[in-house]
Amino acid sequence: MKFRDKTILVTGASRGIGAALAKAFAAEGGLVIVNYRRSEAAAQAVVEACRAAGGQAVAIAADVTDPEAVAAMIARIAEEAGRLDAVVNNAFAPYVFDPDDRARFWETPWSAYQAQVDGALKATYTVCQAVLPLMRQRGRGSIVNMATDLVARPSIAYHDYTTAKAALIGFSRNLATELGPLGIRVNCVAPGLVYPTDASRGTREAVKDMLIAQTPLGRIATPEDVAGPVLFLASDWSGFVTGQTLHVDGGLVMS
C-alpha cells in the first residue's frame, strides 16, 4: 500500500472529486484528512467510506480561505498525526458548468473573478503557507493543486473560473521552483469536464456529446479517473517530477 503510514490532506473532500481522492488515498493505506466547510454529514460519510476501503480518516471543518481556520486545522493535524506527507488543494468556489446560462465577458463583473481567485488561488496560498512548516520539518512532501484543461483549451469560455485556474498554475510553478531545494514538490492536475459532480450537473447532454466527439478516449471523465494521476503525483513514484501540469481529459487538449 503506497500511502501506508502517511498523512494526506484533501481539501473540499466531502463530495465529487475530493471524495473520490480521499477514498483512493485510504485504499492505499493512508490517513486521510477530509477537509470540508459546511457539509458535515457528507464529510462523515466519506470518512466511513475511507475506513471501509482500508485506510484511516478524520473529518476537519475549515474554510480554506480563512487563515485562522486553516492554522487551527493544521495544528490539529500536527497534534494528532505528527506529520503531513501530501496535500491536495481541491476546494474551489462554487461554480456551475452550464454553457447556456454562463455569463459572457461583458456580463461578468470583477467580483465574479475575485470570488474564483479567492476560491482557487487564495485558498491554495493559505493552505500552502500553513502546511509548509510541517513539510519542512521532514525535508520532503508533495503538493498537488487542482487546475483545469480549460486553461490550455477553453472549449467554452468560463471567464472567471478559467482565469483563476490559470493564475493557480502560475502560482504552482513558482512554488515548485522555490520549494524544490527544500525537498517539496508542487504539481497540478488539470481535468476536463468531470461527471457527475455538483459543478457539472447543469451541463447539457449535447455539450457532453460534443466534448466526447472531440476526445480521443471517447468519454467524459469520472471523479475516479482523476484519482490515479493525483495519487501518482503525491507518491514517491513521481519523486523527480515537479512544476508540471498533468492533463486528465482523455486527450482533449492535444486534439
- Rounded to whole angstroms, how far apart are CA atoms 57 and 66? 23
CB atoms within 10 A of CB 26: 26
Backbone region of residue 144 per phi and psi (left: phi > 0; alpha: psi in -120 to 50; beta: other values) = beta
Catalytic residue among 95, 125, 161, 195: 161
CB atoms within 10 A of CB 94: 9
Does residue 161 carry a catalytic annotation? Answer: yes
Angle at 249 between CA 246 and CA 120, to 5 degrees: 60
How would you class 84 by CB atoms within 10 Å of its CB: exposed for 0-12, middle for 13-18, buried for 19 or more?
buried
CB atoms within 10 A of CB 85: 22
Positions marked active-site? 161
